[in-house]
């Protein structure tokens, strides 16, 4: 049994974890998902909700607030620890994959008090360590990087879908502007320039107040859904002013990926989840102001690989579609270079099964 450990405070952490779980299930590997916030008391969850809304409305506040990240594990009660550890032991978890460094003290405690034989991977979606990632980890923790700014490579990846990317000639002259799971960044400021340049724009709104009748298509994750409520992908749907929203959720991958795959670019801050979607859809990333140093490393890596371009540099070309096509071709040429992390884990699980049955 492999247990995927995610955190609901960032969909760029949570959704890759869900994707890995889906890819493992497709290979008949037993897998579970644990979300850190399910262990926290209600007052801590309420603080998280208030922070998300404040950071969405004021990106400068968000960039300052990331520097004071606390350790959520400190708020977990002994009763919650006991219940969690009993569940893991009963389900015979043999391998943990952490997508958030905030899980590390929890898993170390489990290894030291319950089962010293468990394998532990710390999977980093960003190309450099984000605030949750520790500078030092025990020798028995294997670090996995989906992107690596230091080497300028994509060592591992998690397939978002098994379908090939849409060919460029079939794509609409449309871009997807978004701010990640918390709706953060300067993406809304870019909409006017993009529409003036002749592109249709889809915007992922964070709250109903973001939606206006301005000719732009709006989409939204159901605001009543939170990652700690279930193990499904975010319910996603188109939002029209004054009309009810029909939210749907994919069973194989997240709904925004389908939207991205039919257009010419994403326009957003350079989060790790954005890079993953860009890679598997072969859709170039137009890069906005980063959330922190790790996202600046993401932007620099994507530009150096020829997979993305900053908004300012693209603007200097007159928002040329040919620039995006060139980036798309670079992404196509790079497909298959990264090691499939799900395939690697599945092979390790198969080897363990053979050892147990010997």
Domains observed in the chain? 2-160+338-357 (3.40.50), 168-334 (3.40.50.2000)
Within 8 A by CB and 6+ apart from 339, the residues are 155, 156, 157
Please enumerate, as own/partner, the contacts of 304-310 that have beta carbons within 8 Å and a separation of 24 or more. 304/152, 305/152, 305/154, 305/330, 305/334, 306/330, 307/275, 307/278, 307/279, 307/331, 307/334, 308/270, 308/278, 308/284, 309/284, 309/285, 310/286
What confidence tens digit (pLDDT) does each residue in 157-178 have? 999 999 999 999 999 999 999 8
Which token pair is 202? 């889809």
Within 8 A by CB and 6+ apart from 243, the residues are none
Q: Are 258 and 193 in contact (CB under 8 A)?
A: no
Give the whole-angstrom CA distance, residue 109 versus residue 33.
18
Tens digit of pLDDT per residue, the chain (358 long)?
A: 999 999 988 788 999 999 999 999 999 999 999 999 999 877 766 666 555 554 444 444 344 444 445 677 888 889 999 999 999 999 999 999 999 999 999 999 999 999 999 999 999 999 998 888 877 889 999 999 999 999 999 999 999 999 999 999 999 999 999 887 666 667 888 888 999 999 999 999 887 777 887 778 999 999 888 888 888 999 999 998 878 889 999 899 999 999 999 999 999 999 999 999 999 999 999 999 887 888 999 999 999 999 999 999 999 999 999 999 999 999 999 988 999 999 999 998 887 776 666 5
Q: The pTM is what?
A: 0.91
Q: Are 290 and 299 in contact (CB under 8 A)?
A: yes
Which token pair is 106? 């929890």
């Amino acid at each position: 049994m492999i247990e995927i450990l995610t955190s609901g405070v960032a969909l760029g952490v949570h959704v890759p974890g869900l994707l890995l779980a889906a890819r493992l299930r497709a290979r008949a590997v037993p897998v579970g998902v644990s979300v850190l916030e399910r262990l926290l008391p209600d007052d801590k969850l309420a603080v998280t909700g208030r922070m998300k809304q404040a950071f969405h409305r004021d990106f400068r506040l968000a960039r300052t607030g990331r520097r004071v990240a606390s350790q959520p594990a400190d708020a977990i009660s002994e009763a919650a620890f006991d219940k969690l550890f009993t569940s893991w032991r009963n389900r015979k978890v043999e391998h943990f994959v952490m997508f958030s460094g905030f899980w590390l003290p929890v898993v170390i405690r489990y290894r030291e008090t319950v089962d010293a034989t468990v394998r532990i991977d710390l999977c980093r979606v960003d190309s450099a360590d984000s605030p949750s990632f520790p500078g030092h980890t025990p020798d028995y923790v294997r670090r996995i990087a989906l992107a690596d700014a230091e080497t300028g490579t994509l060592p591992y990846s998690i397939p978002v879908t098994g379908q090939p990317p849409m060919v460029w000639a079939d794509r609409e002259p449309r871009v997807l502007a978004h701010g990640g799971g918390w709706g953060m960044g300067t993406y809304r400021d870019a909409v006017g320039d993009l529409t003036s340049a002749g592109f249709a724009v889809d915007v992922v709104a964070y709250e109903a107040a973001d939606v206006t009748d301005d000719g732009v298509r709006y989409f939204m994750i159901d605001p009543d859904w939170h990652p700690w409520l279930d193990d499904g992908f975010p319910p996603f749907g188109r939002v029209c002013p004054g009309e009810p929203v029909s939210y749907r959720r994919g069973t194989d991958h997240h709904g925004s990926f389908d939207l991205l795959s039919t257009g010419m670019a994403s326009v957003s801050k350079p989060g790790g989840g954005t890079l993953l979607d860009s890679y598997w859809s072969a859709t170039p990333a137009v890069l906005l102001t980063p959330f922190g140093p790790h996202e600046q490393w993401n932007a620099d890596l994507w530009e150096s690989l020829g997979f993305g371009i900053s908004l300012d540099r693209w603007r200097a070309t007159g928002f040329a579609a040919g620039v995006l096509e060139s980036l798309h071709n670079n992404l196509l040429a790079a497909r298959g270079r990264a090691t499939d992390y799900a395939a690697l884990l599945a092979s390790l699980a198969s080897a363990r099964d053979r050892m147990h049955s010997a």
